[in-house]
Homo-oligomer: A and B are copies of this chain.
Amino acid sequence: MSIRDAQREAVIERLAGHLLAHGLARTSLRQLAQAAGVSDRMLLYYFADKAEVLAAVMARVAGELSLRLAEAIPDGAPLKPAELVRRAAAFTTGPDMRRFMRLWVEVVAAAARGEAPFSAIVAQVMAGFRHWVDTRLDLPEGADREGTAAAIIAVIDGLALVDICSEDEIAARMAAALSTLLAE
């Protein structure tokens, strides 16, 4: 592996941590370069442009996310929707996963704003979410799997969004309250 490729990998790794820590707040080329410990000149030697940097880093983050989701709720026995939501909610509002979900909300907003690499990233991550739900969802024949999957994802993402702008204490009670809202 060339030095360049090795550096690419190292930069992606460091920037994944950076994005998870700071969201999209510090993502100018110079700020990214500093966080990665290289010069901005070199960042654009390793990557074609800023969009490629962000796309590579977000791909890494998305991979990590799907890995953790798969670990937390494996593809074993399918779960009824309410139970799936409960377990997914408990997981994504956990201390380590919150930064993933926060970043996810920011990325969706960036995509809504039409910023270059994010629309594609959102489509890809969203497809991953759908697939994750689909392989774990126990639904009666004839039910709307796609619609139900979308609804489940909406609930999980909604928790993340409200989590961003609430005190910890209320956020903790939110998941519990949600549980009682769900049918069996």
Interface positions of A (Cβ within 8 A of B): 23-25, 81-82, 85, 102, 105-106, 108-114, 122-123, 126, 143-144, 146-148, 150-159, 161-162, 164-166, 170-171, 173-178, 180-184
Contact = CB atoms under 8 A, between A and B. Distances in A.
A59 B45 CA distance: 45
Identical chains in the assembly: 2
A165 B68 CA distance: 23
A116 to B, nearest CB: 12
A64 to B, nearest CB: 20
By DSSP majority rule, is chain A's interface helix, strand, loop, or mixed? Answer: helix
26 contacts: A24-B109, A82-B181, A102-B112, A105-B108, A108-B164, A108-B165, A111-B165, A122-B165, A126-B162, A144-B176, A147-B174, A148-B177, A150-B166, A150-B170, A150-B173, A150-B174, A150-B177, A152-B181, A154-B158, A154-B159, A154-B162, A155-B158, A157-B158, A161-B161, A180-B183, A182-B182
A88 to B, nearest CB: 12
Given A180-B183, A181-B182, A150 B162 contact: yes
Contact of A109 (B81, B106, B126): B106
A146 B170 contact: yes
A167 to B, nearest CB: 10
Nearest to A26: B113
Contacts of A176: 144, 147
A165 B111 CA distance: 8
Contacts of A147: 170, 173-174, 176-177
A85 B184 CA distance: 17
Contact of A105 (B82, B112, B178): B112
